[in-house]
A and B are shown apart, each in its own frame.
Chain A
């Protein structure tokens, strides 16, 4: 079966996306969840274990605390309180820790150390999987069983002030709330004042039971200037004063005989040395946890705080408030908190906690009875019952007390083991699905590689032996074999497996696909082997093995980049690799240009090295008589063209250097000052405005050249709309708008731009359709493509932040210069051009400030032109703006390749190369992640990159499909 190479490439890439999706499903462990969707109820609580006949024992334990205040300070690092600077930063808290009736702990947060999953962990007690972060960039209501829901059901009145993530997670749970948004990272005073302003009135009142305060300022300071900034101390002193105020008023309110209060100071996550968070370094994971209550014993001096898990707070608070522990909690009671209670109560609390954990264990593990912790819990429960019987009988001897202590120890040990077993359950990978995904991805990659000579040939067609493979005996045997293997694996697997739970039809499809691919691969390889080896498997640059420096660089760079993904530092600093390669590419291109023009001149002169002076002879002009006249830049004459061609790579280099200092990204050097921060600070607003206006003007100038006049007008108005939108949002200023006070969302203005974007897309697709259906006009089609391209540019201009507009501008500038003077003039073939486009696209991905960590995804883009969060457009816009660089370069590639009249197969070659370029790193990375799945940085470094890679593959698949449709029209219109 002969298929066109573009169709072949898109087909492979689409299948690859599906296999990568399967791999992802296996790789990201599904969080441990109880199978019941209901929530724990007070009535479901087990009775106290009692040997013998059961008298009416108290079912519900009494609460320990009347009121609880939780002060959650975002990014509060453990050493801010307990470290050597703690006395300076938070004097009052430190005093309480050392002398007051408090318990202090270091609470370990689990990565990902991002606010939303941490809040979920604190309230549900479960450990949200990494995938939770991605699935919930916007936080919809938390449906799982959680502390807040339990408290509300129990009739507790709750008040919340702070990060509005809470309000979104728990809608209608709070009696009173005021959410502050965390999108404006540069603001660190107002966010906290918005919380504190409610404090006085709330503390005076008596109508609440649980007060939660979530302060964001510290986190924002960390993001701006890191943990050693001079802003940290005043902020922590402010937090200390707030704690002092709350504590003071709680003491005043305290009445004799009533239950005591509990004041909790905690952080959701820490802060790395650069001030960011999300990873798993000690500074990001360790947070302080200070519990203050008159119920505790007074401390006599500073002790080293013991370590607990962050999720341990959930059962502790639940039991302290007399609530059932939420179902999915894997935390265990912090025993010192209850140590002042009677031994019977203590045992009762531990029993409740143990019961909840054992229920969760039953749900999540098939072989729970063999679990060590479960057995220990059963033993402890039994001895608890015996002990209780003796107590009820009125036995009060020292021996009984010791026996009770022993039961306590048994319980604690059982809790520890069960909790550990449950946490370990989260780290389990679904290896079978992963392996199936990897195998499919690799078969597809091999298929792409084996088809390379044919796909890049002049005919641009691939001969796939599909029918012979499908009718051969080995295919059926393989199908049977793989299917039986599947049955075997699925019936013997003890843990849940996604691939096994798929419907039979899908599984059969995958099995058939895999065996068909294997047969095709074998027969293609055999065909290759029998062919005479004369045909060059390399790209069709003149035949033979003659590789120019450029080819060597392009191949070595692609291979080197793929290899570099194995090192976590290179994944973190991937932008450095791309910048480096891009620079080298520009220099090699420069060398090519030099060679072309200087050698040509030398040939014209006919004398080599006639003089020692460079410009001894006037450049001869005969050699350039065939050069096409320049129309766009108002330059005529071959001489100036030569100089422009020579200047293009240098200008590109200069642009790249400027852009790389615009947004510092990565991990190691992210704290260095960059132009982006400088521009965004309020005193440089004028510069930013000027820069944005100039960039927009230049964008218009560069894009409008090839569009119809309708699109030109739409583009101009759209770009004006972009500026006024930025002015409305408050990023830039208009000369006539001096009061910078009123910041609106600019929804109307953004929608105004959207209308123009849609208009441009409409005219573009109309041209494309006409060129396809009615007339086979190549010019019309080219114009349609350029219009689509300009629509993409306008959309990106709207979505990019104001300081990123120069990135877009430089992107367009480099594209038009390179197309004009380099790619056309030096006759680079489609494959070389595609690889260069891909490299540029990757570099621009990082120029715009992206990195390989989830934290740099700019979610606020999802709100451009929308009043509230709507999932589908928000996700689409965020993805689009994140991948703007690769997308722009890919769309330029298709415009460039199809406007080129000389080769009709260029689009097919480009599509094939793009697919191959994407498959190589994706396939390598999938294997790598499988091999490194127990690496220390797997969650902080490698998995975000995996998500980026899969998303990029998806995007490339979409682009390749577009390529295919474009080529289809060409081939159908040409015969």
Chain B
């Protein structure tokens, strides 16, 4: 079942993962003095940008997103505007959550916001691409037994892995090792990206493994 979709997913995930690697390697070659720790903001934005571009183009090409009912220009524009609005709101949401978790309120607000942007590009952007700017559908997918296609399942796993990765990434911060990656927010964004990559690998593999037992409610 879904053999073709799984193949599509695996290859698109491979492209996304290589995109993340390229976003790390290419600036290291081009920009003098680039390092993941030293110029962390740059790295964050390059990863976020590449992930965004790769996601949008891949999902547009694959045509996973739900078919639009209307085809008027205004409708499309309003969808686009709403998507952007949701992305912005998601940045603010992540920023708030990170501050609630104890990030300093005013000091290093830029770093915190960059982390929020990175997390948005890893999670919310994929939601927008797969499900469209539809909060109801998002809530459905993220509640139990809410997935309706392999793409929904993969979305759940990738988003979950990214968030859990960023969450786990906070744990080394209190240790007194004085390493450069313990500086806020390096470990969290590293954790998020590593979680994202794990999600990209795990999702197709898990779906492939469980393809016999997967059943989805029809729409």
A residues near B (Cβ < 8 Å) are 567-570, 572-573, 576-577, 579-580, 583-584, 587, 594-595, 598-599, 602, 608-612, 614, 653-654, 656-657, 660-661, 666, 668
Contacts and interface: CB of A to CB of B under 8 A. Distances in A.
B136 A614 contact: yes
Contact of A599 (B143, B171, B176): B143
A844 to B, nearest CB: 16
Contacts of B204: none
Given A569-B174, A579-B102, A587-B97, 14 more contacts: A569-B175, A570-B174, A570-B175, A572-B176, A577-B174, A580-B102, A602-B136, A608-B136, A609-B134, A610-B136, A612-B135, A653-B100, A657-B100, A660-B102
A608 B170 contact: no
Contact of B175 (A567, A612, A660): A567
Nearest to A584: B167
Contacts of B205: none
Q: Which 6 A-B pairs have the closest CB atoms?
A: A573-B174, A569-B175, A612-B134, A609-B136, A569-B176, A653-B100
Contacts of A614: 135-136
Contacts of B137: 609, 612
B176 A668 contact: yes
Interface string B60-82: 00000000000000000000001
Contacts of A608: 136, 140
Of the candidates B82, B132, B133, B140, the one having the most CB atoms from chain A within 10 angstroms of its own CB is B140
A595 B143 contact: yes
Contacts of B139: 594, 598
A595 B174 CA distance: 33
Contacts of A661: 105
B194 interface: no
A882 to B, nearest CB: 22
Contact of B101 (A568, A569, A580): A580
Contacts of A584: 167
Contacts of B99: 657
A576 B176 CA distance: 13
Nearest to A614: B135
A668 B136 CA distance: 44
Nearest to B97: A587
A657 B105 CA distance: 10
A774 to B, nearest CB: 49
A505 B101 CA distance: 53
Nearest to B132: A612
Interface string B83-127: 000000000000001011110010000000000000000000000
A660 B105 CA distance: 12
A573 B102 CA distance: 13
A698 to B, nearest CB: 22
Nearest to A605: B136
Nearest to A653: B100
Sorting the interface of chain B by its residue count into under 10, 10 to 19, 20 to 34 or 35 or more gives 20 to 34
Contacts of A572: 174, 176
A826 to B, nearest CB: 14
28 contacts: A569-B175, A570-B175, A576-B173, A577-B174, A579-B101, A579-B102, A580-B101, A580-B102, A580-B170, A580-B171, A583-B101, A583-B102, A598-B139, A602-B136, A602-B140, A608-B136, A608-B140, A609-B134, A609-B140, A610-B136, A612-B135, A612-B137, A657-B99, A657-B100, A660-B102, A661-B105, A666-B174, A668-B174
Interface string B142-157: 0110000000000000
A656 B100 contact: yes
A577 B144 CA distance: 28
Interface in B169-190: 170-171, 173-176
A932 to B, nearest CB: 16
A558 to B, nearest CB: 16
A656 B100 CA distance: 8
Nearest to B136: A609
Contacts of B134: 609, 612
A611 B171 CA distance: 40
A309 B108 CA distance: 44
A614 B133 CA distance: 11
B104 to A, nearest CB: 8
Contacts of A577: 174
B44 to A, nearest CB: 22
B139 to A, nearest CB: 5
A569 to B, nearest CB: 4
A587 B164 CA distance: 13
Of the candidates A608, A609, A654, A660, the one having the most CB atoms from chain B within 10 angstroms of its own CB is A609
A576 B101 CA distance: 9
Contacts of A598: 139, 143
A802 B135 CA distance: 45
Nearest to A666: B174
A614 B82 CA distance: 12
Contact of A576 (B144, B167, B174): B174
Of the candidates A573, A612, A614, A660, the one having the most CB atoms from chain B within 10 angstroms of its own CB is A612
Contacts of B100: 583, 653-654, 656-657
B168 to A, nearest CB: 10
A668 B100 CA distance: 20
A118 to B, nearest CB: 25
Nearest to B135: A614
A394 to B, nearest CB: 66
B136 A611 contact: yes
Nearest to B99: A657
A654 B174 CA distance: 22
Contacts of B135: 612, 614
B49 to A, nearest CB: 27
A612 B101 contact: no
Contacts of A654: 100
B105 to A, nearest CB: 8
B116 to A, nearest CB: 15
A577 B174 CA distance: 9
